Structure 1
Amino acid sequence: MSTPLVPAAELPRPEGAASFSPLYRQIKSLLIARLQAGEWKAGEAIPSELELAARFGVSQGTVRKAIDEMAAENLLVRRQGKGTFVATHAEEKIQYRFLRLVPDEGSEALGRQLLDCRRQRAPAWIAKALQMRAGDAMVEVRRLLHSKGVPVVLDDIWLPGQLFKGLTAERLAQHRGPFYGLFEAEFGVHMIRAEEKIRAVAADADSAALLQVPVGTPLLSVERLSFTYGDRPVELRRGLYNTSTHFYRNELN
């Protein structure tokens, strides 16, 4: 059944944005709304450009422009001869995978050691970052990432409890792929972009013991806030990186 095109005035716009919205941006907003509603799951193919054009009552070129922009933002992935798919963190080649720690020489897959996973009440500073109320339920995860058996990253991760009901240490320990792949496959939470704050810090007694370095060792502190569709924050993460044999790599476009 065809879905009528929603007028631009009825679509959400950033505060202060002009009243006019190009047609392809309206289509993009509609497609994102369908992703947010779970109509197409991570890794699934979306309808063809012709099908979407007929569904929304616009030209194929308008749909193509909307999809091109979504592909540039890593929301969708084009595959030659196969179609267009919802981007997923379960796919190794997806470019918006967020871990950027690279060894000084060669490449490697870091090992993972889960230290803790518990449900508790969110303190005010975490609640503010995740747009929750202080005291709301949250899930706190702590883990180490290893390089050749040596710990190089200590991660503290905070998640809204409402979105991650049933997330336990057992489920995390059994999952072999990236956490973000588990989050989207089992909880329907897609991390599509992130903001990071990076600074140099000195290892305190707790982090030094876990990372097996002397107290006071220079570490890279990476605080990340990850967002899903609609710019909703769904994960706060604070990682301490030992960069003595690794570096933090970023690509600027």
Structure 2
Amino acid sequence: MSSLPLAADNPATPPGSAGLSTPAFSPLYQQIKGLILQSLQQGEWKPGEAIPSEMELAARFRVSQGTVRKAIDELAAENLVMRRQGKGTFVATHAEQHVQYRFLKLLPDTGDASVEGPAQRTIIECRRVRASAEIARTLALRTGDAVMQARRILAFAGVPTILEDIWLPGHAFKGLTSERMASYQGPTYAMFELDFGVRMVRAEEKIKAVLPDDEQATLLKTHSSTPLLSVERIAFTYNDVPMELRRGLYRTDTHHYRNELS
């Protein structure tokens, strides 16, 4: 018997999952997408690794190959997986050249960002602290839970341009140190994937103009009367679990913040 009518009779229990609670109105391909996301979250397939073929997933979930294809199409559109012609579908990773800096939107006013090269990083501190009520609420923790708190400066061509304060759940980032952050040469989000098994899949940002305090102005080698761009970012892993709060102050005298809307 085909499993498609069976799933339609009881949409709350998608193929291959007896305990997954799904709204009755959820289309079948959305249910399959949820199951694939569940496997990604549980680490069944690591960033950069190939996932099973559409045919194999169709057999696994007892649905049509077209249903699986539609689910994967949505995952690809959300940058969670990448299709490679003739090779298959792979778990997206921040180590990939074309996506590794997709959360960094600060570009030089003149010239090519690739010519400018990656930022030079100076780690000021990285320590384990107790989460304040605000930090805990943002990261879906309890007040007083352990978090890793880091502060760093990103410089371009020797000019300090970004000052960042970062908070991460302590249980997921045990062993993170200033030395570890400084020694990793690639994107920080790629290090989070490779060393800690945490992949940031999307982010929300709030942007406004602010004046720095004296300490921030000194670190960025600017004046306390010079407006800076404040960018507060919450980054999420699979299933919208918050895994990072990042507050950055950006100098925009030689750079601009660029976004693409569609």
TM-score (norm 2): 0.90
Secondary structure of the residue aligned to 1:181 is helix
For residues 1-150 of structure 1, the aligned pairs below 5 Å read: 8-10=11-13, 11-13=20-22, 19-94=24-99, 97-106=102-111, 107=113, 108=116, 109-150=118-159
* Counterpart pick for 1:221 among 202, 220, 230: 230
* Counterpart pick for 2:195 among 186, 199, 224: 186
> What amino acid is the match of 1:153?
I
Q: Offset at 1:172?
A: 1.0
> What amino acid is the match of 1:210?
L
> What amino acid is the match of 2:87?
K
- Contact 2:150 2:165 (8 Å CA) reproduced: yes
- Contact 2:101 2:187 (8 Å CA) reproduced: no
Q: Offset at 1:56?
A: 1.0
For structure 1, the 5+ residue unaligned runs are none
* Counterpart pick for 1:170 among 168, 179, 182: 179
Q: What do the CA deviations read for 1:159-206 (whole angstroms, capped 9, x no partner)? A: 010111111112111111111101111111110011100000012101
Q: What CA distance in whole angstroms lies between the structure 2 residues aligned with 1:101 and 1:91?
A: 19
Q: Offset at 1:12?
A: 4.3
Q: What do the CA deviations read for 1:96-124 (whole angstroms, capped 9, x no partner)? A: 72011000012122221111100011111
- Contact 1:74 1:96 (8 Å CA) reproduced: no
Q: What CA distance in whole angstroms lies between the structure 1 residues aligned with 2:73 and 2:198?
A: 23
Greater shift after overlay, 128-137 or 102-111? 102-111
Q: What CA distance in whole angstroms lies between the structure 2 residues aligned with 1:250 and 1:237?
A: 18
Q: What CA distance in whole angstroms lies between the structure 1 residues aligned with 2:100 and 2:186?
A: 16
- Contact 1:113 1:145 (8 Å CA) reproduced: yes
> What amino acid is the match of 1:85?
F
TM-score (norm 1): 0.93
Q: What CA distance in whole angstroms lies between the structure 2 residues aligned with 1:8 and 1:208?
A: 56
Figure out how many residues of one structure are paired with residues of the other and give that number.
Answer: 245
Secondary structure of the residue aligned to 2:127 is strand
> What amino acid is the match of 1:97?
R
Q: What CA distance in whole angstroms lies between the structure 2 residues aligned with 1:12 and 1:149?
A: 52
> What amino acid is the match of 2:88?
G
Q: What CA distance in whole angstroms lies between the structure 1 residues aligned with 2:191 and 2:11?
A: 35
Q: Offset at 1:59?
A: 1.0
- Contact 2:100 2:190 (8 Å CA) reproduced: no
Q: CA RMSD in A?
A: 1.5
Secondary structure of the residue aligned to 1:224 is strand
Task: Indicate the residue corresponding to 2:247 in structure 1.
Answer: 238
Q: Percent identity?
A: 64
Q: Offset at 1:95?
A: 7.3
Q: Offset at 1:50?
A: 0.9
Secondary structure of the residue aligned to 1:9 is coil
Q: What CA distance in whole angstroms lies between the structure 2 residues aligned with 1:127 and 1:12?
A: 27
Q: What CA distance in whole angstroms lies between the structure 1 residues aligned with 2:55 and 2:240?
A: 29
> What amino acid is the match of 1:245?
T
Q: What CA distance in whole angstroms lies between the structure 2 residues aligned with 1:205 and 1:115?
A: 16
